[in-house]
Amino acid sequence: MTAEVQKIVSMLDMLPLKEQEFACEVVRKLIIAWDPDFTKLTPKEKADLELAHEQFEKGETVNFSDVDWE
């Protein structure tokens, strides 16, 4: 999380709940305006996805049946 995002979160946390809900709706509308289909990746998401693709191509995967789900 960037310093700017931390500042925003800190400011939002000072607001009463009703205003927090309003601010959340404003942010949601900003995101939709920025990416109507929510298809853009953040730089971190893009890096994570590229790493996952590289690992998959190298065969660095975990077999589903090898996972202990209990």
Using one digit for the tens of pLDDT, what is the confidence trace for 5-59? 999 999 999 999 999 999 999 998 998 888 877 777 888 999 999 999 999 999 8
pLDDT tens for each residue of 46-64? 999 999 999 999 988 888 8
Q: How far apart are the first and last CA of the chain?
A: 32
- pLDDT at position 37, please? 76
Token pair for residue 2?
A: 């960037």
* pLDDT reported for residue 47: 94
pLDDT recorded at residue 16: 95
Would you state the pLDDT for residue 26?
94
